Chains A and B, each alone.
Chain A
Amino acid sequence: MAEQHTASDCKQRASQGAGGSVSGNGRPNTAAGCGGGGGGLSGGLTQPAGWQSLLSFTILFLAWLAGFSSRLFAVIRFESIIHEFDPWFNYRSTHHLSTNGFYEFLNWFDERAWYPLGRIVGGTVYPGLMVTAGLIHYLLNLLNVTVHIRDVCVFLAPIFSGLTAISTFLLTRELWNQGAGLLAACFIAIVPGYISRSVAGSFDNEGIAIFALQFTYYLWVKSVKTGSVFWTIGCCLSYFYMVSAWGGYVFIINLIPLHVFVLLLMQRYSRRLYIAYSTFYIVGLVLSMQIPFVGFQPIRTSEHMAAAGVFALLQAYAFLQYLKDRLTKQEFQTLFFLGVSLAAGVVFLTVIYLTYTGETAATMATQHHSLAQHMPSLYFSPLPLINPIKPVILNLDTERLFDPVLSAFAVYFAGVMVRLMLTLTPVVCMLSAIAFSSVFEHYLGDDMKRENPPAEDSSDEDDKRNSGNLYDKAGKVRKHVSEQDRPEEGLGPNIKSIVTMLMLMLLMMFAVHCTWVTSNAYSSPSVVLASYNHDGSRNILDDFREAYYWLRQNTDEHARVMSWWDYGYQIAGMANRTTLVDNNTWNNSHIALVGKAMSSNESAAYEIMKSLDVDYVLIIFGGVIGYSGDDINKFLWMVRIAEGEHPKDIRESDYFTPQGEFRVDKAGSPTLLNCLMYKMSYYRFGEMQLDFRTPPGFDRTRNAEIGNKDIRLKHLEEAFTSEHWLVRIYRVKKQENRQALDHKLRNVAAKQKYTSKKVCISCLIIVVIFKYRFFFFFSIGYQMFMQ
């Protein structure tokens, strides 16, 4: 163990030396040999350094290529299209940005969302994604590369996955060594946990945020190592980019203080650390506050307080160190108690805030609610592979400490919320890369050593190998070998080759598994569905786009479409029509109102729709083709959310049978069978016989014959139904021109009563509902994507 320690020390020195020169020459840094670090200026291919940089360049390039191409399944199988829900909003904003310019985008008030409230988009988004895509588009067009903004958006995440691989390489190299870095880059390029959020078409914040995350970590480690303001400012800029890109920046602003804190606890305080953290905290804070959506949060909310606490602690610590130098022992001791009590107080506060962040992580879960959570939780993690690394981790350097801190933190967050699994993925990749790398060093390196002495058993073959071995002598492998030679004397060559083979097998299976998962679980746009016939031919069900495009072309430009919030972004993006609620679920009472309209009977719903100026109602109905993610399956949630706001009008129990079942057939509750959602879903479905074995009106999703076959609509009429009935759009009939005066008066009175009711039932239990909804959608989303 001690030898390993010196070895790593040695290496660290080398890379530090190289680090000093890296600003002068930008080539990939080689951690070759202790004395011969840096490789020399004349490093051509005859030099080991030249080979090494060529090799790492090639591997990184291939990792980028592999990462890029394994994300293209959806594009090849379907087309270059934006996926799912949130990406449609991002695409729409990017489109707005690229057509109207940056300032117009920042000031954008979107009157097409949350009718009649609207949404201030510029101030409620993390603009990093849109600005990145818009900038790329702008630059390409400046160079007369006429790429459509959609293609930029579709391919942004795969391209950034390459950058993520490179920054992971850099980070792992800083933490461990070049070999582990390359392995980590290869892992992160294809690991499904990350691919799930970055396939082509998945134009979402995480696609670029993981790159920013890794790069910030890298620069942080670099700045702690060097204590140079240059690297720290770089780290701050990268952090700024991260803040602008994703709400997950909170992860960084808690992790880095934690790292500093642990270092302080372990008596690893140094001037470098002081410079790095003080600069990072102040500049990073100021920069992060420049994002309109973040605003003053970094100095107000609890999840940022850990950083402030550690900052204060560090100042106090540094001050004590300063005093220690200046004062006599006697004086210092009197001051010490004062200082310690002060520091203890700060630490105490920090700890309190740290525990607080555990709470806030849960609230963060409610703030971010794209359907990402509903992705199948097939997150493959090579976590078991970490085991061999455990002994290695025991010897910790200042920056190496970063790794366990990072992993512990990531595991904690991933435990709090499934979605934050994403932040765990790179950590796992790095750890397993380090594990693999050290295992290979252990087992492969020895073979080389073993082959070297028998060089005397002269043979032509050996000569060749010898020439190959020439550069190994300078390399670190060789050095390790001679040091590790003794303890490994007991390992026979057979065990070594078996272990190596096993490891290679494992890696190969990992690659196969990743590709399989990517291709099967994450490569569906979910806007376009595909089904396969018995002969293997493919049917494309394009109902969503059919209906959305119908809305776009054949309704009034200012028509207002009511639908459940899941489809808000898609309607805005594809149909370009005004929606009442969308995936940015910021106003619960508004959602509850839509839920109430859906779950009331037709005439009550008509009143609500009239008050909301609804022209069209859009629902998703999967009964014809057996699509399980439709509105009837989500319906209980509409009821629950409506009940939360309007407990007098809507009661969840009304929608169940006396036995407590939710059924759509004859045994279903009459309230359900007459509510608007039911009527709209099954309008004229009772006449439809799908095949000869089932009665007319047989719902394939719920495997039941519907209970109410004679549905008549009074205030609505069918405006459009897509080919497979997946999307049904109803037109809200305008009121007839009436003369009767008394009726009119009554109407007004009813309206007043209604509004007063609305006022008195205020939004008291929003949080409860949000939490509820999140878990519910996870389950139905799971079904939806699995089918």
Chain B
Amino acid sequence: LWRATQPSMCFWLLRAAAADGLVNEEVKRTVDLSTHLAKISAEILLANQGGSPVQSFTLALEPELGPHLAYVGASVKGEEEEDESLELKETAVHGRSGTFFQVQLPSALAAGGKLRVKVETVLTHVLRPFPSHITQAERQLVVFQGNHYLYSPYPTRSQSTRVRLASKTVESYTKLGNPSKNDEVIEYGPFKDVAPFSQDTMKIHYENNAPFLTISSITRTIEVSHWGNIAVEETIDLRHTGAYLKGPFSRYDYQRQSDSGISSVKSFKTILPASAQDVYYRDEIGNISTSHLQVLEDSVEVEVRPRFPLFGGWKTHYIIGYNLPSYEYLYTLGDQYALKMRLIDHVYDDQVIDHMTVKVILPEGARNVHLDTPYVIDRSPDQLHYTYLDTFGRPVLVATKNNLVEQHIQDMVVHYTFNKILMLQEPLLVVGAFYILFFTVIIYVRLDFSITKDPAAEVRMKVASITEQVLTLVNKRLGLYRQMDEVVNRYKQSRDTGALNSGRKTLEAEHRTLTNDIAALQARLKAEGSDLAEKVGEIQKLDGQVKELVNQSCQESERLVAGKVKKETYITSEKTLAGKRQELISRIDSLLDAL
């Protein structure tokens, strides 16, 4: 917007400006020097004394102050409370040095009409510490060099300037027009009938212990995730740009005397958005443990305390980061997305940023990216960023700008399109990775990759697996006998022959299948040529005996129930049977162990 327009066009504009016959009827300037910035605001009553209506007027800035200009804004002071801000366009005035802006008026100013305009200018690095080096005990004195008059292409009828200082202590100040000084305020003027482009150096040398902090560079990274999070990280290089510390730094004095190192900065407050979470504050060597976090209703306040107090000329470097929920900043309509966030956020009050880089990392697959900024900003070529589960990289918007102040805390909007199907990419990637992992393991375990073939080992493995099965089956079979016992016991109590018979039948059937299975396995073992087959055969034989015994005990119990035997006889015979069975089972066990 401020780009210099074509020279011919410019010339035309200039002629229009010269011919439009505007006059600054009344100017009230306020120069606020209470911080390390020079905030100059002027209320100008513009009068059109020409013959034709005027669409725009020109703002001017002294050539010495031009490079320090961080922000300029103009607004029309309406009758109502709300001011209407005006559009500015940088231009040039032929034959005059300085910085010029053309201000578009909301409506043409008719001939003879008057309009009250408010112009706000913020200048950085114009307060020069003098002396430039001070000791810890000394106070910081600075010099401001400006203009007594409003620098304007139009003649000024009447003007007054009020300068607000940081303290009462003033070493010296220029005495044009016998200004009055009252505590921290010096009032110049009123000056009558000042010619266009008139300059008269105003020089004020005064004490200013405000924190002279400057962010020499800041990189703000905004990483958008469609999974609901926006991660913000600011890497900040901070420097104390006041008078340099000369000589030693004494911790004793600093701790014991309240006015020692009065111009140094111990801590400052950074205001983060209200929804900021997981705030971290660290540097290359770890967390900076001296900070405090306070969650307020409408913001999160971080008391940023650098590891050491910052004296003149000292610098530090830190990283502050936090997460934001994306629903507050990300707007969507179908495949269209818009991210509305602050281009730069608050770091400390009256902040000065010498160099800023903003990086916006959009989700992988974002296309048609378009950036809307509230002011002109230099776009660097887009980059690609790779992080967790990325395959072809996330687009990164990079933009830089120099010399920013608090007034630049404004929203930017990033428009882009994103196919929602791509959301599935990341989970699928994870699923795929695990699938491949498990599949590899399965393949590796199931298949034989050895380069030599070992038939003996193979046979051994086969035999082992068969024996394993035999073991399970034999154990199951032994379990059946216990079940049988149970059935018999129950029968003894209930005397229900039907239950006994049915139980016996089912168990017998099961027993038969198990025995058959074992026999089949035994055959297989034999086929493999293992001598274990004999042992299995022996087990089978023993098992037959056990079976016999079980049947016997069953019959015994039947006879007992039928009253054919006496109880004592039954008990003794049962005992012998149990003893025999025990013996057989332990023999089977020992055989099993030998398997």
With A455-B482, A684-B250 known to touch, is A479 a contact of B593 (CB < 8 Å)? yes
Question: Quick check: B289 and A542 within 8 Å, CB to CB?
Answer: yes
Interface SS of A by simple majority = mixed
The tally of residues in B whose CB lies under 8 Å from a CB in A reads 60
Q: Please, which residues of chain B bring their CB within 8 A of the CB of A467?
A: 479
Residue among A80, A81, A473, A552 facing the most chain B CB atoms (10 A cut-off) = A473
Q: Which residues of A contact B283 (CB under 8 A)?
A: 549
Q: Is A520 an interface position by the 8 A CB rule?
A: no
Q: Answer whether residue A553 sits at the interface, using C-beta atoms and an 8 A cutoff.
A: yes
Segment of B55-63, B75-83, B146-154, B449-457 in the binding face: B449-457
Contact of A546 among B307, B463, B472 (CB under 8 A): B307
Query: Contacts A35-B464, A470-B472, A478-B593; is A721 near B457 (CB within 8 Å)?
Result: no
Contact A24 B286 (CB under 8 A): no
Contacts of A444-479 to chain B: CB distance below 8 A: 453, 455-456, 458, 463, 466-467, 470, 473-474, 478-479
* B104 part of interface (Cβ distance < 8 Å): no
Query: What distance in Å separates the Cβ of B225 from its nearest Cβ neighbour in chain A?
Result: 14
Task: Indicate whether A81 sits within 8 Å of B286 (C-beta atoms), given known contacts A36-B595, A482-B590.
Answer: yes
Contact B247 A24 (CB under 8 A): no
| Residues in B506-530 with C-beta less than 8 Å from chain A | none
B284 contact set on A, CB distance < 8 A: 552
Q: In this complex, what residue of B is CB-closest to A25? A: B445
Return A1 CB to nearest CB of chain B, in Å: 20
Given A25-B445, A35-B594, do A144 and B388 touch, yes or no (CB 8 Å)? yes
Query: Residues of A contacting B472 with CB < 8 Å?
Result: 46, 470
A38 close to B461 (CB less than 8 A): yes
**A466-B482, A549-B316 in contact; A687/B595 too (CB < 8 A)?**
no
Which residue of B is nearest A576, CB measured? B284
Quick check: is B532 within 8 A (CB to CB) of the other chain?
yes
Within 8 Å by CB of B448, from A25, A453, A553, A687, lies A25
How many angstroms from the CA of A206 to the CA of B468 in the assembled complex? 44
Is B486 an interface position by the 8 A CB rule? yes
**Chain B residue with minimal CB distance to A550?**
B308
- A7 to B: closest C-beta gap in Å: 11
Q: Bound state CA distance, A33 and B465, in angstroms?
A: 12
Of the candidates B248, B460, B486, B582, the one having the most CB atoms from chain A within 10 angstroms of its own CB is: B248
B132 within 8 A of A: no
Residues of B within 8 A of A79 (CB): 286-287
Q: A456-B578, A482-B593, A548-B285 are in contact. Are A17 and B444 (CB under 8 A)?
A: no
Q: A21-B457, A144-B388, A542-B289 are in contact. Are A720 and B482 (CB under 8 A)?
A: no
Shortest beta-carbon distance, B312 to chain A, in Å? 11
Chain B residue contacts of A424, Cβ below 8 A:
none
In the bound complex, do residue B486 and residue A458 qualify as a contact, i.e. CB atoms below 8 Å apart? yes
Instruction: Give the docked Cα–Cα distance between A466 and B585 (Å).
Output: 15
B438 within 8 A of A: no
Interchain nearest-CB distance for B11 vs A (Å): 51
Contacts of A81 in B (CB 8 A): 285-287
Task: Tell me, in angstroms, the Cα distance from A549 to B305 when the chains sit together.
Answer: 13
Residues of B within 8 A of A723 (CB): 251
Known: A24-B450, A26-B445, A553-B315. A463 touches B482 (CB 8 A): yes
**Cross-chain contact B251 with A38 (CB below 8 angstroms):** no
**Interface: B489 (CB within 8 A):** yes
Minimal Cβ-Cβ distance residue in B for A547: B308
Taken residue by residue from 516 to 557, chain A's Cβ proximity to chain B (1 for < 8 Å, 0 otherwise) reads as 000000000000100000000000101001111110111000
Q: Is the CB of A23 within 8 A of B450?
A: yes
> Interface extent on A, as a size class?
35 or more
Q: Which residue of B lies closest to A481 (CB)?
A: B593
Q: In the bound complex, what is the Cα–Cα distance between A425 and B532 (angstroms)? A: 45
Within 8 Å CB of A474, what residues of B? 468, 471
Bound Cα distance A417, B476 (Å)? 59
Question: Are A473 and B461 within 8 A (Cβ)?
Answer: no
Residues in B with CB closer than 8 Å to A552 are: 284-285
Cβ contact within 8 Å between A456 and B250? no
Report yes or no: A546 in contact with B308, Cβ–Cβ below 8 A: yes
Verify if B592 is at the interface (C-beta below 8 Å from A).
yes
- Residues of B with C-beta under 8 A to A528: 286, 289
CB distance from A158 to the nearest CB of B (A): 18
Task: Report if A470-B316 is in contact (Cβ < 8 Å); known contacts: A41-B461, A717-B248, A718-B250.
Answer: no
For the complex, what is the distance from the CA of A722 to the CA of B306, rounded to whole Å?
12
Whether A453 contacts B593 in the complex (CB less than 8 A), given A144-B386, A146-B388, A548-B285, comes out as no
Give Cα A725–Cα B255 distance, bound, in whole angstroms.
11
Q: Look across to chain B and name the residue whose beta carbon is closest to the beta carbon of A688.
A: B252
- Which of B247, B251, B316, B595 counts the most chain A CB atoms within 10 A? B251
A410 shortest CB reach to chain B, Å? 36
Kindly state whether residue A145 has any CB partner on chain B within 8 Å: yes
A660: interface (CB < 8 Å): no
Interface residues of A in 26-72 (CB under 8 A from B): 26-27, 33, 35-42, 46-49
A36-B464, A146-B387, A688-B252 given; name 19 further pairs at CB < 8 Å.
A23-B450, A38-B464, A49-B468, A79-B286, A80-B286, A146-B388, A458-B485, A458-B489, A463-B479, A466-B479, A470-B475, A470-B476, A478-B593, A540-B289, A545-B285, A554-B313, A718-B248, A718-B250, A721-B250
User: 17 A-B pairs, CB-CB below 8 angstroms?
Assistant: A25-B445, A36-B467, A48-B468, A456-B485, A458-B485, A473-B589, A474-B471, A542-B289, A542-B307, A549-B283, A549-B307, A553-B314, A554-B315, A685-B252, A718-B248, A722-B251, A723-B251
> Which 3 A-B residue pairs are closest in the complex by CB-CB distance?
A40-B465, A721-B251, A718-B248
Chain A residues near B (Cβ < 8 Å): 17, 20-21, 23-27, 33, 35-42, 46-49, 79-81, 144-146, 453, 455-456, 458, 463, 466-467, 470, 473-474, 478-479, 482, 528, 540, 542, 545-550, 552-554, 573-574, 684-685, 687-688, 717-723, 725, 731
Binding site for A on B (CB under 8 A): 247-252, 256, 283-290, 307-308, 313-317, 386-390, 444-446, 448-450, 454, 457, 460-461, 463-465, 467-468, 471-472, 475-476, 479, 482, 485-486, 489, 532, 578, 582, 589-590, 592-595
